[in-house]
Amino acid sequence: MHLPMNGDLVRLILAGAALLIGFFGSFLPVLPGIPLAWVGLLVTHFSSRSGITTNTLIICLLVTIFVTILDSVAPIWFTKRSGGTKAGSRGATVGMLIGLFTGPRGMILGPLIGAFVGELIYDSDILKKHLTLP
């Protein structure tokens, strides 16, 4: 078995680490998963053993940019479109962070429960304003 040269070995290790962290970033919102995975492809591209073409790298970059923008804009747009408030969005974020520590079910149910609780808190503030006596 022929081992790659030292520079290639370092590049492949860095690329593997970036791809692995990028994979975990697809589940953990704290990590920019897709951009990190693309960086792993970029680093791999510069290895002498890479089969990744420049065209493939550019197409992956365009998809990465599109998905990253969509990932940032879509939740805001859908929240506004469905009548949600900032309180619901904040509740969903808190629920998601708590859900990370409770396993797969918590990761799915946490944001839903958090958004629900956030909206309840928001609605109770509105009710308090309208129901207060002069």
| Enclosing domain of residue 22 | 1-74
CA distances 56 to 4, 25, 116, Å, are 23, 22, 42
Mean pLDDT (the chain, rounded): 80
Q: Is the pLDDT of residue 129 over 70?
A: no
Q: pLDDT band at residue 121, thresholds of 50, 70 and 90?
A: confident
Residue 124 CA, chain-centre distance (Å), reads 31
Tens digits of residue pLDDT in 85-103: 888 888 888 887 888 788 7
The answer to whether residue 79 sits within a structural domain is: no
The token duo for 102 is: 């409770």
Residues 29 and 62 in one domain: yes
Provide the pLDDT for residue 57. 92
The token duo for 65 is: 């940019």
Residues 4 and 50 in one domain: yes
Residues 5 and 44 in one domain: yes
Q: Is the pLDDT of residue 107 over 70?
A: yes
For the entire predicted model, the pTM comes to 0.59
The stretch 3-30 carries a mean pLDDT of 80
Q: How far apart are CA 54 and CA 42, in angstroms?
A: 9
Provide the pLDDT for residue 126. 59
Instruction: Return the CA Rg of the chain.
Output: 22
The answer to whether residue 15 sits within a structural domain is: yes
The token duo for 100 is: 């990370």
Q: Give the chain's domain count.
A: 2
The stretch 45-55 carries a mean pLDDT of 85
